[in-house]
Amino acid sequence: MPSERRKLAGFVREAAMAKLYASQVAQKVSGSAIEWMGGMGFVREGLAEKYWRDSKIGAIYEGTSNIQLKTIVKLLQKEYKQH
């Protein structure tokens, strides 16, 4: 079991990078959709507003973007200190 855990630990940085990137892209795309739709982008009956809210909560629920950044930086520093 410990060896399996060590194998999985190698993907922490990549997982943090993927979560951060996906969160940023979702917020950018949904924000652009709202801008493109104008006032209709904010109404609850439309999907753009829901996607924007979901993208904002995703950044918090999956670990805030700042925590993801700190995790990435910490792991990169650790990796390059070894070299």
Number of domains forming the structure of the chain: 1
Kindly list the distances between the CA atom of residue 24 and the CA atoms of 10, 35, 52, 58, in Å, as whole numbers in the listed order.
23, 16, 11, 10
Which are the contacts of 37, defined by CB distance < 8 A and separation ≥ 6? 46, 48
What integer pLDDT is reported at residue 74 of this predicted model?
Answer: 92
Positions marked active-site: 62
CA 43 to chain centroid, in Å, comes to 25
What is the DSSP code (8-state) at residue 46? S
Lowest mean pLDDT among 20-24, 29-33, 38-42, 70-74: 38-42
Half-sphere exposure (Cβ direction) of 50: Cα atoms closer than 13 Å: 4
Domain range for residue 60?
2-81
> Residue 31 sits in a domain of what CATH number?
1.20.140.10
Q: What is the pLDDT of residues 34-70, one digit of tens each?
A: 999 888 887 888 888 899 989 988 778 767 888 889 9
Q: Is the pTM of this model over 0.75?
A: no
